[in-house]
A = this chain, B = another copy of it.
């Protein structure tokens, strides 16, 4: 019973299920953001990883930033967000990884400045969504390049019927997802552990 019921309730209330198993949570996470909910997610990630000495939070722009920064605020550790586009003022050494977005049907190169991740870092990766796991996989690749130790992954919303969760576990990385969606049924969202799914 350590799941964040608050988030599940919010998904039921304000999430929109679109065709192709797309869940739109623009109302509180991806476009409009509820800062108090994000803080609650941060508290939950901190609770789940409280035994670990985390030195850095890693996420990817843009929607990962809100839950990541709340986690960083409570832990008092820096948050690094991987960039999707090469910045005119990003120069020097970069760790890069390729990330394919199934939703947007484009391949992005994400990058992190070498200055902000190294072999002394114990990293907690935070992201808003886990579906096919491509973004998290890219962040794990970047941590490998930096020789940083990955303590685990924290996800707000996992679509457990897609391949991302398995991909992360196969890489031997601890995964904690606060809301785990087992299926969509029309406009209804079923969560892993719901009585009706048991």
Contact = CB atoms under 8 A, between A and B. Distances in A.
A73 B22 contact: no
Contacts of A81: 31, 33, 62
Q: Is the interface of A mostly helix, strand, loop or mixed?
A: mixed
A187 to B, nearest CB: 15
A28 B88 CA distance: 18
A87 interface: yes
Given A61-B62, A62-B62, 20 more contacts: A26-B89, A26-B90, A26-B113, A31-B90, A31-B112, A31-B113, A32-B79, A33-B72, A33-B78, A33-B79, A35-B70, A38-B73, A39-B73, A62-B65, A62-B81, A62-B83, A65-B66, A69-B69, A87-B103, A89-B103
16 contacts: A22-B89, A26-B116, A27-B116, A31-B90, A31-B113, A31-B116, A32-B78, A32-B80, A33-B72, A35-B70, A38-B69, A62-B83, A65-B69, A69-B70, A87-B103, A89-B103
Interface of A: 18, 22, 24, 26-28, 31-36, 38-39, 61-62, 65-66, 69-70, 72-73, 76-81, 83, 87-90, 103-105, 112-113, 115-116
